[in-house]
Structure 1
Amino acid sequence: MIRVIVVATSFVARAGLSAVISSNPQLTVVGSASDLEVLAAEVEILQPDVVLIDISSNFQQSVWEKLLLISQEKYPLPMLVIVEELDSIDLERSLRAGIRGILLSSSTESEIVRAVEAIAVNLIVLHPNAIELIQTQEKTTANPVQSLTPREIEVLAMLGSGLGNKAIAKGLHISEHTVKFHLSSIFQKLGVSSRTEAVTVAVRLGLILL
């Protein structure tokens, strides 16, 4: 029996996915959660085999980043994530972080069930459209000079000079919030997770000079 936790902000979505999982005699829903904070407690108590997460109705980059952190560092469990579209997601990075499956909200009930079964035995499940997107993203990552905007390169250069967010914002006449947005985009495009790593990679690629 494969133990599944269902996560979705909407009660209707949780109920629907729970019904889909319960329709298969090999699967059982051991719990549900409305957000990632609740999921943390549920995982520790219930020890599921697969976590099924639906973020199709409220996708935000901050939610996705938190999901990657949970998958990679805190709860290394097989996760199947349902999203509205693939364009906003770095699929290669998601797989490296430990997410085992990504489906679209248009997926059928049988596709979801088969995906849960496959992920439970350590297989990776991706929507058919994801393969082409991964190849496209790999090409973009391979040439970050083209993928970074001129403003992002400016931010990188100031980062390399040791300036903090406030100083960067003042120097570029933008808000600190906008600086944080640019940094998040830079980190994602360069495949790094810290300011030091970003500067190191940027220097190696010839994006900035120290």
Structure 2
Amino acid sequence: MRVLVNAASDVVRTGLESMLSTAAGISVVGSGIGMEKIASQVEELQPDVVLVETPSEEAMAGLLEFSSRMPTLGIALLADDSDGRKTLEALRWGVRAIMPRNSMTGEIVGAIQAVAAGLVVIHPEATEALLATAPSIEPSAFTKLDQSLTPREVEILSLMAEGLGNKEIAWRLSISGHTVKFHVASIFSKLHAATRTEAVTIGLRRGLIMI
């Protein structure tokens, strides 16, 4: 598993590299301080997971915009979050793991492995802080969250990821082409996607499907 490390200081960067160097199955392919060059590093080194420590909101947004062109890239974030707001925002950005900066080696390694497997990891401390923010969320905010795909829609999205067209999907699932078209339209609507490629990319990034 290829991991790129990025931290806010040289001391933290060195510590994270040393920590991961002893973990079985993990290879640190590069590291950096600050977010200025991380996009070029990701493009050059092709990591499976990027471990980022305390980035700014602007920097993280830039990384996620870049990573949208690499749907298999997972991002794990090390950041302290006393009120849960950073955790909530990071999840909206697309971060797959959120851990405190003082997490133990085993916790960080486990989070990286989970992210590489397409899972989402939230540390118990972050979960408590996140839940504490729930009462303050306006009800209207929930209407902005994406609706969940049905099992059939996930199945069709997976076949779309294989490059199958509507007729091929209909034949594979023994359903009508009209039904497939209906499900595809629903997938586009729920994922806010305009094309099949965009829908598949979003599905991969969110761990809905795997290829």
Q: Name the TM-score, length of structure 2 as normaliser.
A: 0.59
- The root-mean-square deviation of aligned C-alpha atoms, in Å, is 1.9
Q: How much has 1:88 moved relative to structure 2?
A: 6.5
Could you list the structure 1 runs, at least 4 aligned residues long, displaced by more than 3 angstroms after superposition: none
Which of 99, 116, 129 is the matching residue for 1:103? 99
Q: How much has 1:134 moved relative to structure 2?
A: 2.1
Q: Which has the higher contact order (CA 8 A, sep 6+)?
A: 2
Q: Name the TM-score, length of structure 1 as normaliser.
A: 0.59
Q: Counterpart of 1:47 in structure 2: which amino acid?
A: Q
Identity %: 35
Structure 1 regions of 5+ residues with no counterpart?
A: 145-210
8 A Cα contact 2:81 2:87, kept in partner: no
Structure-2 residue corresponding to 1:18? 17
Which of 80, 86, 89 is the matching residue for 1:84? 80
What are the superposed Cα offsets for residues 148-168 of structure 1, whole Å, 9 maximum, x if unpaired?
A: xxxxxxxxxxxxxxxxxxxxx
Task: Tell me the matched-pair count.
Answer: 136
What are the superposed Cα offsets for residues 20-72 of structure 1, whole Å, 9 maximum, x if unpaired?
A: 111112000000111111111101101100000112xxx6xxx124313422x
Structure-2 residue corresponding to 1:54? 53
Alignment of 1:1-210 (within 5 A): 2-55=1-54, 63-71=56-64, 73-76=65-68, 77-87=73-83, 89-142=85-138
Secondary structure of the 2:137 match is helix
Q: Counterpart of 1:17 in structure 2: which amino acid?
A: L
Secondary structure of the 1:36 match is coil
What are the superposed Cα offsets for residues 131-183 of structure 1, whole Å, 9 maximum, x if unpaired?
A: 23222323212258xxxxxxxxxxxxxxxxxxxxxxxxxxxxxxxxxxxxxxx
Secondary structure of the 1:18 match is helix
